[in-house]
Amino acid sequence: MLLVQNLREDKEAVLAGLSKKKFKLLHLVDEAINKDDIRKKEQNQLDELLSQSKKLSEQIGMLMKAGKIEDAQKLKNENAILKEESKTQQERLESIEKELYEILVQLPNLPHSSVPEGSTPNDNEVVYMHGSTPELYIGALPHWELCSKYDIIDFELGVKLTGAGFPVYKGKGAKLQRALINFFLDSAHNEGYHEVQPPILVNADSGYGTGQLPDKEGQMYFITQDEFYLIPTAEVPVTNIYRNVILKAEDFPVKNTAYTPCFRREAGSYGKDVRGLNRLHQFDKVEIVQIQHPEKSYETLEEMRTYVAGILMKLNLPFRTLKLCGGDMSFASALTYDMEVFSAAQKKWLEVSSVSNFESFQANRLKLRYREGTNKPILAHTLNGSALALPRIVAAILENNQTPDGIKIPEVLVPYTGFDWIN
């Protein structure tokens, strides 16, 4: 969420940034400022009323003690009027605040100056390419067919147990999952990330904290009986650890990593994009989250991006890094790099990681701040990235490493799997 203060101070830059993000409702900026002006006036009036009422109460107290019941009664009547007024004033203020909030939550984060212009994925800028796309032999199969050929991932069985998008991993398929999770966690650990195991159900406050609520409510599974949401990403619980927290400047950088299953309803998705492992309702992911000093967050973003690229290199997967254009970036992000691996049989680039700097956009909602010395608390910057999401990595490994004799496991994973071929 943006601060009204920022809208006031640099309105032109805000409007330019919003336009770059292809945000249409530019009038909301002025509306927010006007609403905030009203809010200030209303608050002033309320404070004035409450202040008067408070003084009267004190006087009543003294009169009562002195036994001047009648005088006290007079003031009581006077105060009753004030009380009525302040109550309606309170309601007025609250509704103004709510209106202001509702305007502000509609405004997306402003893009970093280096974000390319553009409105569709075609406008994303390829900033890095690694590896060559493998030539497969005649008769090579897409991963979903490899899954059933070697009986390692069973989509139909998942349909029986739950529904589409909830596959059952079997045998070497299951072991490969475990291997990847451990490999990713160990890598993150070596990079200085602190491992946490958060709950995978969260309350509404956490949903609001990272911005899944209120607008992306339909994306999450919801347990009505206890009012819990299944997390769509570990970002939600791991970042919310720092909701309403004031860090010290010397705590930076805060680096956490977590493996969790992720749950996404993916309402509206269908067709070939969701074939096999391309899009699931439940999948595994290792996430990295950092909280950083505002002056260092972009340095950190590059470091995270390099780190994720390093993992993909170790897995020997061809990939490219995209800097997303203004129109393709997520609502909360100021700068996002997407990492896509090439899936050789589908001949498709698959997004396996998204590394973003949210600057203070999330921190504002979270009330995540830091203090430098004895100064006032300042909003921190938050960043996160997938490192990595499993299913598409598995798809790429299966497709790219297939041979007529089976699937070769990347060397770096063999110590984790305990086998080097799926056949």
Partner RNA sequence: GGAGACUUGUCCGAGUGGUUGAAGGAGCAAGCCUGGAAAGUUUGUAUACGCGCAAGUGUAUCGAGGGUUCGAAUCCCUCAGUCUCCGCCA
Contact residues toward RNA (CB under 7 A) are 36, 40, 43-44, 46-48, 50-51, 53-58, 60-62, 64-65, 76, 79-80, 83, 246, 369, 371, 374, 376-377
* Residue whose CB is less far from RNA, 10 or 273: 10
Q: Enumerate residues 6+ apart whose C-beta is below 8 A from 155.
A: 144, 147, 148, 164, 167, 276
Beta bridge partners of 194: 256
Q: Angle CA(130)–CA(393)–CA(183) in degrees, nearest 5?
A: 95
Q: What minimum distance in Å lies between the beta carbon of 116 and RNA?
A: 33
Q: Which residue, 24 or 65, is less far from RNA as judged by CB?
A: 65
Given the complex with RNA, which of 199 and 214 has the nearer CB atom?
199
> What's the first-to-final CA gap in the chain, in angstroms?
51
Closest contact distance (angstroms) between CB of 61 and RNA is 3
Shortest separation between residue 376's beta carbon and RNA, angstroms: 6
Q: In the complex with RNA, which residue's Cβ is closer, 202 or 317?
A: 202
Nearer to RNA, 87 or 189 (CB): 87
d(CA 67, CA 299): 70
Report DSSP state, residue 404.
Answer: T
Rounded Cα–Cα distance for residues 344 and 131 (Å) = 12
At closest approach, how far in Å is the CB of 74 from RNA? 11
**Other CB atoms within 10 Å distance of the CB of residue 144:** 20
Query: 320: which 2 tokens?
Result: 């490219």
- At closest approach, how far in Å is the CB of 221 from RNA? 20
Nearer to RNA, 3 or 136 (CB): 3
Q: What phi and psi, each to the nearest 5 degrees, are found at residue 261?
A: -70, 150
Nearer to RNA, 79 or 239 (CB): 79
Q: Residue 243: name the closest of 361, 104, 359, 364 by CA.
A: 364
Element spanning 288, H or E: strand 282-292
State the nearest-atom distance from the C-beta of 156 to RNA, in Å: 30
CB of 323 to RNA, least distance (A): 33
Q: How far is the CB of 178 from RNA (least distance, A)?
A: 20
Instruction: Give the nearer residue to RNA in terms of CB position, either 79 or 210.
Output: 79
* The pair of three-digit structure tokens given for residue 72, joined into one six-digit string: 């006290």
Closer residue to RNA (CB): 53 or 212 = 53
CB of 288 to RNA, least distance (A): 28
Both structure tokens of 292? 């950083």
Nearer to RNA by Cβ, of 205 and 302: the residue is: 205
Beta-bridge partners for 389: 285
Give me 166's structure tokens.
């909830």
Residue tagged 């509609």 (tokens):
106
Q: Which residues of 116-137 are buried (b: 16+ CB within 10 A; e: fewer)?
A: bebeeeeebeeeeebeeebeee
Nearest distance from C-beta of residue 305 to RNA, angstroms? 32
> CB 176 → RNA: shortest distance, Å?
27
- Residues 323 and 125 sit within 8 Å (Cβ to Cβ): yes
Q: Which of 386, 413, 158, 137 is nearest to 277 (CA)?
A: 158
Query: What is the maximum alpha-carbon separation in the chain?
Result: 103
Number of residues assigned to the chain: 423
Place of tokens 């002033």: 44
**DSSP letter assigned to residue 273:** G
Which of 127, 223 has the CB closer to RNA? 223
Helix (H) or strand (E) holding 386: strand 381-389
